[in-house]
Amino acid sequence: MRSACLMLVAVALMQAQTGKYGAGRPPTPQEVKALDISVPPSGEGLPEGSGTAVEGKEVYARRCQRCHGAEGKGGDEVALVGGSGTLNTPKPLKTVGSYWPYATTLFDYIHRAMPFKDPGSLTSNHVYAVTAYILQLNGIIRANEKMSAESLPKVKMPNRDGFIPDARPDTGKVKGTTKR
Ligand code: HEC
């Protein structure tokens, strides 16, 4: 599905660039692949590699701590750890540990967006390791548990069942909207 969408984008770009304006060139398969990094909750598309919290601790200290604080407790930027049991209180603390429903999203987010000023600079092994470290700090996995494309989707996040789909049916046409 993802690849199909990207192919459509690639074809559209090709037409836009060569057909009408005669400029640019179609992206190479390698260029498309470099952008095709989305990982859905199922973990489909997770890259090869692995890492443990023990390894991730070191990555975190070098690349993350100055913004997210010691042991992910927050600093200049948001906390990544803690908040367990606070969601239904007047002061909910939403963190990866207390709020996020899927561990695979953590990998995807770090892979595409962190470190904030240098996204894409971590290897897959480093992303797995630092993901493992944040999960371990939240008490979700053990320090020596290896995170990989096989194991990460199996991690059950504490708030996994806290998201309730809206049972109301779609309304279809709403009165007062534009007539066609
Ligand atoms: C220069 C500061 C900086 C560094 C270094 C940094 N981050 Fe971030 N991080 C941010 C900011 C700012 C946000 C919020 C971004 C937003 O909401 O758009 C964020 C958000 C996050 C989030 C989402 C938290 C949430 O609950 O929404 C995660 C997870 C995260 N960072 C992990 C990491 C990891 C892992 C590293 C190291 C590899 C890292 N960050 C390094 C600044 C930083």
What pLDDT score does 35 carry?
A: 87
Testing ligand 1's pocket by substitution, the residue of 57, 59, 68 carrying the most ligand atoms inside 8 A of its CB is 68
Comparing CA positions, the residue from 117, 113, 116, 138 lying closest to residue 56 is 138
What pLDDT score does 5 carry?
A: 59
What pLDDT score does 146 carry?
A: 98
Task: Round to whole Å and give the CA distance between 122 and 56.
Answer: 11
What pLDDT score does 33 carry?
A: 85
* CB of 157 sitting under 6 A from ligand 1: no
Find the range with the poorest average confidence among 24-33, 37-46, 73-82. Answer: 24-33
CA of 35 to the centre of ligand 1 (A): 20
What are the Cα distances from residue 78, in Å, to 19, 51, 104, 127, 148? Answer: 47, 24, 19, 19, 26
* CB of 130 sitting under 6 A from ligand 1: yes
First vs last Cα of the chain: how many Å apart? 32
* CB of 63 sitting under 6 A from ligand 1: yes
- The 10s digit of each residue's pLDDT in 93-138 is 999 999 999 999 999 999 999 999 999 999 999 999 999 999 999 9
Task: Round to whole Å and give the CA distance between 134 and 122.
Answer: 16
Q: Which two tokens stand for residue 3?
A: 């690849």
What pLDDT score does 172 carry?
A: 74
Task: Round to whole Å and give the CA distance between 93 and 83.
Answer: 5
* CB of 132 sitting under 6 A from ligand 1: no
Task: Round to whole Å and give the CA distance between 93 and 108.
Answer: 22
Which residues, other chains included, contact 59 with Cβ-Cβ below 8 Å and sequence gap of 6+?
122, 126, 129, 130, 133
Ligand 1, atom 1, residue with closest C-alpha: 116
Q: Is the pLDDT of residue 27 over 90?
A: yes
CA of 63 to the centre of ligand 1 (A): 10
Torsion angle defined by CA atoms of residues 103, 165, 3 and 26, in that order, rounded to the nearest 10 degrees: -110
- The 10s digit of each residue's pLDDT in 132-175 is 999 999 999 999 999 999 999 999 999 999 998 888 888 776 66
Q: What integer is the mean pLDDT of 74-82?
A: 96
Find the range with the poorest average confidence among 11-25, 31-45, 102-116. Answer: 11-25
Ligand 1, atom 42, residue with closest C-alpha: 116
